[in-house]
Amino acid sequence: MAQPVIHLRQRSSALSCGGAHRSPLEAHQVPVEFQCRSGYCGACRLRLLAGEVKYHQEPLAFVGRGEILPCCCLPVDDIELEL
């Protein structure tokens, strides 16, 4: 099964999610504000334009419709994000 791909709208680029133990965005050095890395603070909040993610455990920070906390989730399938 192919690894999900993260598409970044502003950069017109695609990132592989292959086996990183941290956020794929952080692994690819995409400038996103990471503070708690556990879904507590919400500092890393991004807009999810397409696709679906799953959380390791439900984040404590509020996550609105069409938003994700990339510090504590992984794509289920290909996703598109707005930075």
Please give the chain's pLDDT, 83 residues, in tens: 578 999 998 777 788 876 655 678 888 888 889 888 899 999 999 999 999 999 988 999 999 999 999 999 989 999 999 98
Q: How many CB atoms lie under 10 A from the CB of residue 37? A: 16
Cα separation of the two ends of the chain: 27
What residue segments make up the domains of the chain, in order of their start?
5-82
- CATH classification number, 5-82, choose in 3.10.20.30, 1.10.10.10, 3.90.1150.10, 3.40.50.300: 3.10.20.30
Q: To which H or E segment does residue 25 belong? A: helix 24-27
Distance, in Å, from the CA atom of 64 to the CA atom of 25, rounded to the nearest integer, reads 20
**Res 40: pLDDT:** 94
- pLDDT for 34-44, tens place per residue? 888 899 999 99
